[in-house]
Structure 1
Amino acid sequence: MTEQTPHRCGSVAVIGRPNVGKSTLTNALVGAKVSIVSNRPQTTRHRLLGIATYPEGQLVLVDTPGLHKVQKRAMNRVMNRAARGSLEGVDAGLLVIEAGRWDEEDSLAFNVLRDSGIPVVLVVNKVDRMKEKAALLPFLQQITEGREFASVHPISAQKRNGLEALVRDVLALVPESPPMFGEDEITDRSQRFLAGELVREQLMRQLGEELPYATTVEIERFTEDGNLLRIGAVIWVEREGQKAIVIGKGGTRLKDIGAKSRMQMERLFGAKVFLETWVRVREGWSDDEAALKAFGYE
C-alpha cells in the first residue's frame, strides 16, 4: 500500500430475497465460514457480521436473512426486522439476485435499499448456472433500466469468480479509515453462537424438506478443557412427531447430524470437540415472539 492509496474501511449490508447466495458470498469474501449455507430458504435467520480484510481496506459485511413478502409467522417478521435493521449506519449495500431471475421479492429488496439512501451495488450471482450465457446481457439491461446502481457485477460466489472487481468497487464506496477489526478476526459472533449455527446447518441440509422451519438449536453447555471444547446442543422442535424425524431410526440421523456438526466445528475452531445433542419439544416456538427472544432471535 502506497501513500496514494489510503486505507478504506466501512460496513456493507448484504441484502436479497431468500436463497440467492448471500451467505455463500459473505463466506467467499471473508475467506472463512462465518455464515451457514444450505439450499433451503431461511437458512440465515440472524444478522451477523463477516469481516473481510484486504491490503487496501476492510469490509465489515452484514449478512442478513432473506426478505420475505409474506410474513405469516413471528419468525418471518423477526427475520424481516433483522434484514431491514441491518441497513442502519452502513456505508453501502449489496443487492444479491440470481442470474436470470427477478421477482417481487427482488423488487422489495431493491426498494428497501433504495429508500435507505446508500449506494447500491447489484451482485448477479450464480451466473455459472445460466444455461444460455447469451441471455445474461439482455437480462442485465432489463433489470437495470429505471433502477440506479453504483455498479453491476455478474459473479459466481461458489466458484469465487468475479469477486476481485466486486471488492475493488465496494471498497471505493466506503470511507478512508483505519480497520475496525484485527487482521485475524472474521466475525463478531462468539464460538458458542457459531456452534449452534453449525448444528442448525446440518438440520437444514438433512431435514429441509421434512422440517423446513420447525427446528432451532440452543447451546446449553460450552466449556474449554485444554484443547478440548465440550459442547452440549439442544435441538428444539414443535411436535413429538418431529422429534422422531430428527432422531431417526435407532438414533442414526441424530448421530449423523452430530458427527457432521462436530467435524465442521473442529475445522472452524481449530480444536478437538466433544459434542452431545438432545432433541426436545416446545410447541409453537417459531410463532411465539417470547420464545424466539429466548432462543436468541433479535
Structure 2
Amino acid sequence: MTSIDSDIFSFSGEVLVPQASPEFKSGFIGIIGRPNVGKSTLMNEVVGQKIAITSPVAQTTRNRLRGILTTPEAQLIFVDTPGIHKPHHQLGEVLVKNAKIAIESVDVLLFVVDGTVACGAGDRFIAELLSRSQTPVILGLNKIDQQPSDTQIIDDSYAQLAEVHQWQTVKFSAKTNAGIPQLKDLLIEHLEYGPYYYPPDLVTDQPERFIMGELIREQILLLTREEVPHSVAIAIDLVEETPSITRVLATINVERDSQKGILIGKGGTMLKSIGSAAREQIQKLIAGKVYLELFVKVQPKWRQSRNSLAELGYRVEE
C-alpha cells in the first residue's frame, strides 16, 4: 500500500482508504444461526441497504456475503453465513462447511436465534459448535416485535443457554430496528483497535453481478415458493451499460424439465413476473434503468456435482 497522505488517505488499487486513528476499531463479525432466523434481514438493516436476499423459504443464503458498516468510531464487516443444518446434498455440505469455516475466521460471533420460540435442539447444537471456538460470542434474540405477550419461558431458555457459555445477550428486531443501536454498540465494544479494511462508503465487497443474480433468485423463491425451492442457480451472462440503460442477460439453471416449465409458466407468464419484479430490485441497486432478459436452462443434478457447483460459484471457502 503506497502512502499518499499519512494523515488522511492511503491508496490501494483504485480506491482511497482513510488512515485510521489510534482509537478506531475494526473487525469481522460472523452472523451464525439456524436457517430462517433473520440473519440476512439483520445484515441489510445494519448496513442500511439491501445486499442480501430474504425469503420465507429456509436456507436462502448460499454464499458468505460481507456487509460493511462504517461509523466514526469503527468499521464492522458482517459475514452472513448459510443457516447451519443437516445437509442433504453436495451443495448443502459446501454451505455448512463454509459456515463452520466462518466461525474460525472472524473476530466476533453473533449467534442469532428466533426470539419468538424457546431454545431448541438446533440452537443447542450450534451453541455446542460455537463453544469449541476461541472467538467471543454474543447471543442475539431476533424478532422481538413478533414475540407473544408472555415471553418468560422463551427468555429464560436463552438466558440459561447464555449462562452456561458465559455469553452476553441482546434483544432486537431486524425488521423494526428496535434494539439495533444497542446491538451495534455491543459489537463495537468487542472489537479491537484496527484499520479501515474498506472505503467508508462501501456497503459490501461483492460485485454488482453477484447481487443482481441474488435479486433474481430472491424473486424466484418468493413467486414459486416450494414448487422450485433450492434447485435454482443464477448465472449473469452479460451486463452491458450505456448512458441511458443497463442491459442484463441471465440464465436460470434448474435440475429438471418440470422445474423449467414452472419457471416459464403458461405462455411465459411466470418468467415475465420474475423478470419484472427482479428488474425493479436491480434498478434500485444501480439507481438507473434496466433491461433484463432471462433464460432457463436444465442442468441435471447440478447440486450433486462438484464441477457444476464450482462453475456456478459455489466453492468451499479457504
Calculate the TM-score normalised by the size of structure 2. 0.88
SS of the counterpart of 2:240?
A: strand
Report whether the alignment pairs 1:10 with 2:27: yes
> Paired residue for 1:142, among 160, 165, 190?
160
**1-structure distance, mates of 2:244, 2:211:** 18
Tell me the residue number matched to 2:6: none
Q: How does 1:267-282 map to 2 (within 5 A)?
A: 267-282=284-299
Tell me the residue number matched to 2:309: 292
Report whether the alignment pairs 1:67 with 2:84: yes
Tell me the residue number matched to 1:52: 69
Tell me the residue number matched to 2:109: 93
Calculate the TM-score normalised by the size of structure 1. 0.94
Tell me the residue number matched to 1:176: 193
Q: Deviations over 1:183-202 (max 9, x none)?
A: 21010100011110000000
> Paired residue for 1:245, among 237, 255, 262?
262
Tell me the amino acid that sits aligned with residue 245 of structure 2. Answer: L
SS of the counterpart of 1:116?
A: coil
Structure 2: gaps of 5 or more residues:
1-20
**1-structure distance, mates of 2:118, 2:270:** 35
Tell me the amino acid that sits aligned with residue 291 of structure 2. Answer: F
> Paired residue for 2:173, among 141, 151, 156?
156
Q: Deviations over 1:39-79 (max 9, x none)?
A: 111210110100011122110000000011x2220011010
Q: Deviations over 1:228-286 (max 9, x none)?
A: 22111111111111111011111111101001101101101112111100111011111
SS of the counterpart of 1:165?
A: helix
**2-structure distance, mates of 1:125, 1:145:** 18
Aligned pair count?
293
How far does residue 102 in structure 1 lie from its aligned partner after superposition? Answer: 2.1
Tell me the residue number matched to 1:200: 217
How far does residue 5 in structure 1 lie from its aligned partner after superposition? Answer: 9.0
**2-structure distance, mates of 1:281, 1:105:** 34
Tell me the residue number matched to 1:77: 93
How far does residue 203 in structure 1 lie from its aligned partner after superposition? Answer: 0.7
Structure 1: gaps of 5 or more residues:
none
> Paired residue for 2:144, among 127, 137, 157?
127
Tell me the residue number matched to 2:11: none
Contact 1:122-1:152 within 8 A present in 2 as well = yes
SS of the counterpart of 2:169?
A: strand
Contact 2:119-2:157 within 8 A present in 1 as well = no
**2-structure distance, mates of 1:251, 1:76:** 31
Contact 1:213-1:286 within 8 A present in 2 as well = no
Change (3 A) 1:186 1:93: same
